[in-house]
Structure 1
Amino acid sequence: MNRTRRVKIVTGLKCNIRCVFCYYRDNLDAPNRKSDEILQDLRYAYRRGVREVDFSGGEPTVHPDLPKLIIAAKQQGMERVCIISNGWRLADSKYMGILKDAGLDEILFSVHGSNETVHDELTATPGSFARISAAMKNAVDLGLAVRVNTVVNRVNLADIIVVSRFVANFRPIQVNFITVNDWCFAKNLVDKLMVRYTDMAPHLHSACDYLESLVPAVNVRYIPYCFMQGYERFVCNHRQVPYDPYEWVPRVRARLEQGTGLIRYLAILGYGLIVAGEAKNLFRKNFAKLLDAAVTEGLRCRFYTKALTCNSCRFFELCDGVENTYATEHGLGELCSVSGGRILDPVCFRREGSSELMAYAE
């Protein structure tokens, strides 16, 4: 499988709504980043082989220079430009038309409910469901590709299948269900929003069943494989990320992440190489793949944990386990070992016509 050539570039943490689970909730009034800094990130990414970009925030549409940034990305050589958006400003079809004329190709919408009761509660912004609904219709009318993120939590769990039916009306090319991830859950709300995988799985299975024939790419992100038996093809955890064309190149994302300077970046790589053990592949992989693996394995080693029973599971190499936050809140008792031959290829279920037992593809 081809490796992703896409990365996220942050335009700033400033946002015009207040999602209750937002990791950056205390920083949503921060100023936008300077355009020169963003353009520098674009040049950095392009030099490292990135050819597709997701402008993210906060909310990128609150940046006054967004049309110019899209133009600059295309002039830089980016083949595909996307924005990750809550849709509030994009309900204005004239503004969306400006972005399309600048070179925008697709929009990744954050849809957290199928109606205003659920969605507006999670965004803490009355009217946000009506505006994102209008925004997605505008995108379809203008011929822009639509993608969807839905953060699965206690408030919208029973609504997930209805969300699936709702977003399918806009012919998305990708739908992501994001489960337990510290980047999506404000720490002070973990106990109120975090759902057990045991409770989550049946709803996710139903959503995947419904969307599979309608949407080219359906992903469940950050979930142990033992909860997705029979649905393994939908799982996208850290080892699957480098092969997902809509995900971000690990080594470039880590360098450009908000607040990451050179010293912190080197520390991330060092942790992945030494503590997570990726240094063993120093002479087995090319340098770019080694750095990607160092970031990936560092994340898995630092922020995730597994139960002892996981050691005998056939998915051990593919699976991240559960985040430390989840383990603290709910323990590890739900995890189970799935019997069968050990699977080494991280994308065997996502590789059409492949054998489950292919060697680890690097």
Structure 2
Amino acid sequence: MSIAGLLIRRERLARAWSQEGLCRGICGTSYLSKIEQGKAAASEEVLALLFARLGLSWTDDADGALHAQTEACMEALFGGDAPAFAAAFARLRAQERTLLCSPCAADYLLLREFACEADGERRPLDAEFVSFLDQRQLALQRVLEGRHEEAALLYPAAAIRLWQGAHLYARGRYAAATEALRAAYDAAAAEGYAHIMMNCRVYLGNCCSDSGDPKRMQQHYAVAQRLAEALGDQKILSTIRYNDAATKIECGDFAAAYAYFSALEETDAMSLHKLAVCCEALGRRDEALTALARAEAMLPEGEAHAPERQMLALVRCRLETPDYLHDERYGTLLTDCFALLRRERGAGYARFHLKWMLKWYKANRRYREACALLEDFPAEK
């Protein structure tokens, strides 16, 4: 179905115009109704007149130039090449007004959502678009809705399998995530999408790390690192080194983790949090407090960063409370933080704090709760 009718309907309703008022002298009301529902294909002349009455200019893309540019951006998205996608989308954004009144409108609106850097900023298209979407577009819509399994069934591209695996990983479903990521890796290898292969290996390594298998984690990270070096992807190389060091903290190798986090030239709040944890374990209290103060100063106010602020507060509480294991204030802060991380940041963040939860339960003889928690965090889920 042509999306032109939907665009006309949305603009008409936004202006609170009646169908009769819009189509007077152009076409019949019943014909406009069918156009708006996608049940009738209007001529380019009629479309141009309807859009013009709304103060817009319909572009039919007769030469296919807009379609070609949109497809180039889609190829970058499905190829997993983030810099290429950002550059391709920047070229599209410069033509946003034209694209939004063209046959490429749905593609552009979907691409605009995927161009948002943070997942939390992405929103699915309004429900009225769904009946006008083709299979690939509908799959992207399902991803934006968080319905990744449906998306993969609709359009089993390597990128969608990767997003499905990442979605499952964030929810602690490591076995299912591994299955999706392996399928994504195989598809990417068959299609020649090296960036997706690289990201699959990173997530597979993350799954192994969170499942308590550092040896397999290192195997996946080694492959990801070779791919990142070949592609010149410094961001992924930094991510691998960061994740490896964070895993060392979980494994109790605080000295090795400290060597990494203390040497970072560019830091953020979470890398300083990891440094503080290492310093705490190594008896470097003053250095830990300094790292916490720097991290706290970096975090902006607002609910969006509440979990990170609680993580920092938790370390500070341990450093400033000698007998914290028997201090109810610490227990409340710990359990609240753990619950918030599970809800807002996913299983990986919560698992990082698991040993402190178990230590608290053990010190306070709350063995039943400790056992229940361990059931929620098996080695493989």
TM, length-normalised to structure 1: 0.30
Higher relative contact order (CA 8 A, sep 6+): 1
Q: Which entry has the higher C-alpha Rg, 1 or 2?
A: 2
- Between Structure 1 and Structure 2, the one with more helix by share is 2
- Between Structure 1 and Structure 2, the one with more strand by share is 1
